[in-house]
Amino acid sequence: MKSFDAIVIGGGQAGPFLAARMVEKGMKVALIERKFLGGTCVNAGCMPTKTLVASARAAHVARSGAVYGVNIPGEIAIDMKVVRSRAETVTMNARNGLIGWFAGMDGMTVIYGHARFEGPKTVSVNGETLTAPRIFLNVGARPVIPELSGINDIDYLTSTSIIHLDTLPRHLAVIGGSYIGLEFAQMYRRFGAEVSVIEHGPKLASREDEDISDAIADVLRSEGIDIHTGVSDIALARSSDGITVATDSARIDASHVLIATGRKPNTDDLGLDAAGVITDKHGYITVDDKLATNVEGIWALGDCNGHGAFTHTSYNDFEIAAANLLDGDDRNLSSRIPAYALYIDPPLGRVGMTEKQARASGRKIMISTRPMSRVGRANERGETKGFMKVIADAETKKILGAAILGIEGDEVIHGIIDAMNAGTTYPALQWSVPIHPTVSELIPTLLGDLKPV
CATH of residue 390's domain is 3.30.390.30
pLDDT score, position 111: 98
Same-domain pairing of 16 and 128: yes
Q: Which of 335, 353, 377 is the last residue of a domain?
A: 335
Same-domain pairing of 282 and 221: no
Q: Is residue 130 part of a domain?
A: yes
Question: Would you call 20 helix, strand, or coil by DSSP?
Answer: helix
Same-domain pairing of 124 and 8: yes
Query: Distance from CA of residue 173 to its chain's centroid?
Result: 21
Q: Is residue 377 part of a domain?
A: yes
Same-domain pairing of 128 and 11: yes
Same-domain pairing of 308 and 182: no
Residues 162-175 pLDDT 10s = 999 999 999 999 99
- List, for the chain, all residue ranges whose pLDDT scores fall below the cut of 50: none
Residues 383-425 pLDDT 10s = 999 999 999 999 999 999 999 999 999 999 999 999 999 999 9
Residues 313-363 pLDDT 10s = 999 999 999 999 999 999 999 999 999 999 999 999 999 999 999 999 999
Full residue range of the structural domain in which residue 380 is found? 339-452
Q: Is residue 146 part of a domain?
A: no
CATH of residue 240's domain is 3.50.50.60
- Count the domains in the chain: 3
Q: Is residue 7 part of a domain?
A: yes
Q: Which of 261, 294, 310 is the last residue of a domain?
A: 261
Q: What DSSP string runs through 88-151?
A: HHHHHHHHHHHHHHHHT-TTEEEEES--EEEETTEEEETTEEEE-SEEEE---EEE-----BTG
CB atoms within 10 A of CB 24: 11
Same-domain pairing of 384 and 415: yes
Same-domain pairing of 17 and 129: yes
Does this model's pTM top 0.85?
A: yes
Neighbour-count burial of 64, counting CB atoms closer than 10 A to its CB (0-12 exposed, 13-18 middle, 19+ buried): middle
Same-domain pairing of 189 and 224: yes
Q: The sheet that has 451-452: what strands, in order across it?
A: 339-342, 348-352, 399-405, 387-393, 365-371, 451-452
Same-domain pairing of 131 and 198: no
Same-domain pairing of 184 and 320: no
Same-domain pairing of 82 and 176: no
Give the amino acid at 95.
R
pLDDT score, position 347: 98
Residues 200-224 pLDDT 10s = 999 999 999 999 999 999 999 999 9
pLDDT score, position 271: 98
Q: Which of 239, 261, 283 is the last residue of a domain?
A: 261
Residues annotated as part of the active site: 436
What gap in Å lies between CA 135 and CA 113, rounded to an integer? 16
Same-domain pairing of 27 and 86: yes
pLDDT score, position 30: 98
pLDDT score, position 201: 96
